[in-house]
Amino acid sequence: MALDNIIERCQDLYDDLRFSYVKEWKAAQPGRHAIGYMPVYVPRELIHAAGMLPVGILGGGDQLDVIHGDAYYQSYICRIPRSTIELALTGRLDDLDGMLFPSTCDVIRNLSGMWQLKFGDKLIRYFDVPQDFDPAVGGKYYVYELQSLRDELAQLAGRPITDDDLRQSIALYNENRAVISELYAYRSREPWQVLTHELYLLLRAGMILPVDEHTQLLRDYMVAARNTKRPVRDNCRVVMNGLFCEQPPLGLLKSIELAGCYVVDDDFLLVARWLLDDVPLAGDPLQNLCDAFLTRSLETSCKFVPQQKDKGAYLLASVRDNHAEGVIFAAPSFCDPALLDRPMLQRVLTENNIPYTAFKYSENSGQMQPIREQAGTFADSIKLWSAA
Amino acid sequence: MTRAAGIDLGTGVVKIAVFDVIDGETTWLGKHASRIRRRDPLVLARQGYEALLAELGIEPDSVDYIATTGDGENIPFRTGHFYSMTTHARGASYLRPGVRAVVDIGALHGRAISTDERGKVLTYRMTSQCASGSGQFLENIARYLGVALEEVGEISQQSDAPETVSSICAVLAETDVINMISRGISTPNILKGIHLAMASRLVKLLKSIKVREGEALLTGGLATDQGLLDAMREQVIEQKLNVTIDGHPDSIYAGAIGAALWGAFRHDKLAQADHAIPASSLDDYDASAPFTQTEVSQEASDCPLTGTRPVQGGECPAGEIDRLRRDSVE
């Protein structure tokens, strides 16, 4: 498939706030169920193993007018819960048979409560992940949480979710993560070949397409990208941080690229990369998912770091591993996790002489000129005045 | 030797400069400027670039780095892009070595920039929400008055009693001008009033970045407007600054000069690190590529006054750039 066609397909899925794909997927085989989930992490393997379609619900972006949603939240709350409830109140999420709200922050937790009040006839679950990484404490709790979700999904599916079902799903998601990891490595090596706004659209497609179809799409993209010669620019290499929940408008990503930056790592849509390695297929699948979460998962602002000395280590490693020359902190307005973490992360960068710049956005930000100016002058300062 | 080209894609004019740099010694080989008018700026940039190289007898492949600035980030054959204040600061330090302050007045923005001796931007401030500090505004007024843009400065210098104009809002200022015409105010006094209003804002920008003494060079499309230069000098006195405001015959090329020189600098820096980027071959790009304004510039928020969408930069109502291109006099 040609590069443009792949991106066009992803763009169509991205633009469709009516989730027509979900409707078509369900209509193709009566009795199918679709389960929505919000950022940052849920174990999609469980949903898939139940024969259901996991659907990432990531707010309304910059194409949705929030009319009812503002009545549900104070003015000092970020935009993603308002636009998400707007999606539901306007019938756009009617094809979903359930929603999972992970423990990203208090706002998302509150949203799960609103869902219970408004849409109590569906499967609604606040999915609480452990912040204690001791297997005897957090691990025990998390296996219980996974089993509880498994039971609820099985009840909705009308059949048990067997260990073999789970293993098959885990294998598919292992494969998907491996291909995404390959894509990220490709972008880091040749960022002019994998444009970040395209990578983002590809990941977004994975929020709605079945996992095997998405894996193939990623492979097709990489083949097409390797067959497409794109010009090398004198851009600086940056890591973007803080965009793990409320989504950046596509225009923001394009602005960063136009401003002279190659994004070589980011924290978009972490659900697709949360587990760092393959989850073993042998043994108890729930225990394996739990162990992967406890010991081999990504770090972000939503995850507790027990040792202060370890705070920001993942960001430093990302900068070094990807040969980045700077960091762009882009956090949604009123995002407690990202904005509370930012000073600590900035301190770590300062101590290591890594330049950074910071701004805020919301999913419907429209005026990109200030961001372009800021990112552009940041890129200039790196290109002209850095020691490297 | 490093050969670099700078292309400054402005709102109204495309400016191009080509330099050779040998051991830090710069040689300005040539320059080119063309008004955009109704033409596609990207196509115009390429045509101008090719025409300049042909005029200089330079093979495109001999150019090591093609640097863009202004709105040139969409030029497909660029090697790299630098932001306007970065390039204007460098261009000013080339045109007037030792200068530490720059006032860049383009079609959409006015900027005051302070620099160090290397041309590094230390701080800057630019006009914010309104176009009344910009060349676009002056061009509109000139058109209402039936005056060619090139005549504006000279006519303004004939003023004996300049009229006060709103310096806050381009739309209100245009209303002011219509009222002045109906009251029989002379064209020189209207234009001088406009110049003083613009100069007042620009000198305030200089004050805001704490430039209170020394020399400031005007750059950008309006830098050769003698009427504006006079008004700036009056405003410096009015606002009690000890700053010498000056222009340069090549001030409009400051952005292109700065881009070329920074491009040469980057080329050498990358080459030293063994990371030189091969210059683009023009053959790889379609010469008739349409100017595709990115979604970025189309996503500006609505103008609170007119309710219309500002163009890139959020400075003036939709269609204004197109109107300028249609109506500009070459």
Structural domain for A107, as ranges? 3-165
The amino acid at residue A216 is Q
Among chain A residues, the shortest Cα distance to B128 is held by: A370
Higher pLDDT, A273 or B223: A273
Q: In chain B, what residues touch A251 (CB-CB under 8 Å)?
A: 295-296, 299
What is the value of pTM for the model shown? 0.86
pLDDT, one tens digit per residue, over B147-169 is 888 899 999 999 999 988 876 66
> How much is the pLDDT for B140?
81
Give the count of Cβ contacts less than 8 A between chain A and B: 80
Q: Which residues of B touch A (CB under 8 A)?
A: 65, 73-74, 76-83, 85-86, 120-121, 262, 265-266, 270, 273, 277-278, 280, 284, 294-297, 299-301, 312-314
How crowded is residue B330: how many other Cβ atoms within 10 Å of its Cβ?
7
Q: Mind telling me how many Å the CA of A353 is from chain B's nearest CA?
A: 19
Is the pLDDT reported for residue B66 higher than 60? yes
The mean-pLDDT minimum among A9-18, A318-327, A375-384, B213-222 falls in B213-222
d(CA B51, CA A355): 40
pLDDT band at B299 (very low <50, low <70, confident <90, very high): very low
Least Cα distance to A219 among A262, A176, A189, A185 occurs for A176
Confidence of residue B298 (pLDDT cuts 50, 70, 90): very low
Residue-level pLDDT at B286: 61
Confidence of residue B68 (pLDDT cuts 50, 70, 90): very high
Asked whether the beta carbons of residue A368 and residue B297 sit closer than 8 angstroms, the reply is yes
CB contact under 8 A, A249 and B299: yes
Residue B301's pLDDT is what? 36
Superfamily of domain B97-247: ATPase, nucleotide binding domain (3.30.420.40)
Confidence grade of residue B111 (pLDDT, cut at 50, 70, 90): confident
- Inspect the interface and report whether the beta carbons of B83 and A376 lie closer than 8 Å: yes
Determine, yes or no, domain membership for A34: yes
Which run of H or E residues covers position A290?
Answer: helix A285-295
A90-123 pLDDT, tens per residue? 999 999 999 999 999 999 999 999 999 999 999 9
According to the model, what pLDDT value does residue B133 have?
61
Name every chain B residue with its beta carbon within 8 A of the beta carbon of A366.
299-301
The reply to whether B97-247 shares the fold of B2-88+253-288 is yes
Minimum CA–CA partner of B278 in chain A:
A232
User: How many domains, chain A?
Assistant: 1
Q: What is the C-alpha separation between B310 and B296, in angstroms, rounded?
A: 12
pLDDT tier at B137 (50, 70, 90 boundaries)? confident
Band the pLDDT of B135: cuts 50, 70, 90.
confident
Average pLDDT, rounded, for chain A: 95
Q: Which CATH architecture has domain B2-88+253-288?
A: 2-Layer Sandwich (3.30)
Phi-psi region of B314 (alpha: psi -120 to 50; beta: other; left: phi over 0): left
**Residue in A231, A251, A259 nearest the CB of B299:** A251
Q: How far is CA A363 from CA A83, A175, B246, in A?
A: 9, 30, 45
Give B81 to chain A, closest Cα distance, Å: 6
Verify whether the Cβ–Cβ distance A373 to B83 is below 8 Å: yes
pLDDT band at B310 (very low <50, low <70, confident <90, very high): very low
pLDDT band at B47 (very low <50, low <70, confident <90, very high): very high
CA distance B313 to chain A (A): 5
Q: What is the mean pLDDT of chain B?
A: 82
Q: State the Cα angle at B277 between B274 and B280, rounded to 5°.
A: 160
| pLDDT tens, position by position, A218-235 | 999 999 999 998 999 999
pLDDT of residue B307: 33
Residue A131 lies in a domain: yes
Q: Do B299 and A385 touch (CB under 8 A)?
A: no
Tell me: pLDDT of B302 over 60: no
For residue A30, the distance in angstroms to the closest alpha carbon of chain B comes to 40
Q: Span B122-134, mean pLDDT?
A: 73
* Mean pLDDT of the region B43-69: 95
* SS3 sequence of B269-299: HHHHCCCCCCCCCHHHCCCCCCCCCCHHHHC
A259 touching B, CB under 8 A?
Answer: yes
DSSP 3-state of B214: strand
Average pLDDT of the segment spanning A301-330: 94
Test B266 with A384 for CB contact under 8 angstroms. Answer: yes
Cβ distance of B294 and A377 shorter than 8 Å: no
pLDDT at B288 over 60: no
The pLDDT of B98-118, averaged and rounded, is 87
Quick count: other Cβ atoms within 10 Å of Cβ B10? 25
- B198-234: pLDDT as tens digits: 899 899 999 999 998 899 999 988 888 999 999 999 9
Q: Are B13 and B34 in contact (CB under 8 A)?
A: yes
In this predicted structure, the answer to whether residue B319 has a pLDDT above a threshold of 60 is no
Confirm or reject contact between A241 and chain B (CB < 8 A): no
* pLDDT at B316 (0 to 100): 37
- CATH number of the domain to which A27 belongs: 3.40.50.11890
In 3D space, the residue among B221, B214, B255, B250 whose CA is nearest the CA of residue B85 turns out to be B255
Q: Tell if the CB–CB gap between B299 and A372 is shorter than 8 Å.
A: no
pLDDT bin (cut points 50, 70, 90) of residue B138 is confident
**CA-based nearest residue to B139, from B102, B177, B104:** B177
Query: With an 8 Å Cβ cutoff, are B299 and A368 in contact?
Result: yes
- Chain B CB contacts of A233 below 8 Å: 78-81, 277
Above 50 in pLDDT, residue B56? yes
Q: Is residue A224 situated within a structural domain?
A: no
Residue B142 pLDDT level (bands cut at 50, 70, 90): confident
Kindly state the tokens that stand for B239: 């606002």
Say if A187 is an interface residue toward chain B (CB within 8 Å).
no
Per-residue pLDDT at B293 exceeds 70: no
Angle at alpha carbon of residue A78, lines to A76 and A81, rounded to 5°: 120
A62/B301 Cβ within 8 A: no
B79:A234 CB<8 A: yes
Report chain A residues whose CB lies below 8 A from the CB of B312: 369
The token pair that represents B78 in the structure block: 């660029």
Q: Judge residue B28's burial from the number of C-beta atoms within 10 Å of its C-beta, 0-12 exposed, 13-18 middle, 19 or more buried.
A: middle
Task: Give percent above pLDDT 90 in chain B.
Answer: 50
Looking at beta carbons, which residues of chain B come within 8 Å of A388?
A: 273
A349 vs chain B: nearest CA distance in angstroms?
Answer: 22
pLDDT of residue B290: 40
Contact call for A383 and B120, based on CB within 8 A: no
How confident is the model over A144-181, as pLDDT tens digits?
999 999 999 999 999 999 999 999 999 999 999 999 99
CB contact under 8 A, A250 and B295: yes
Q: Are B102 and B90 in contact (CB under 8 A)?
A: no
The values of phi and psi at residue B242, to 5°, are: -105, 55
Task: Domain ranges for chain B, please list them.
Answer: 2-88+253-288, 97-247
Q: Do A233 and B120 touch (CB under 8 A)?
A: no
pLDDT value of residue A165: 97
DSSP state of A69: G
For residue B71, the 8-state DSSP code is: T
Helix or strand or coil: residue B275?
A: coil
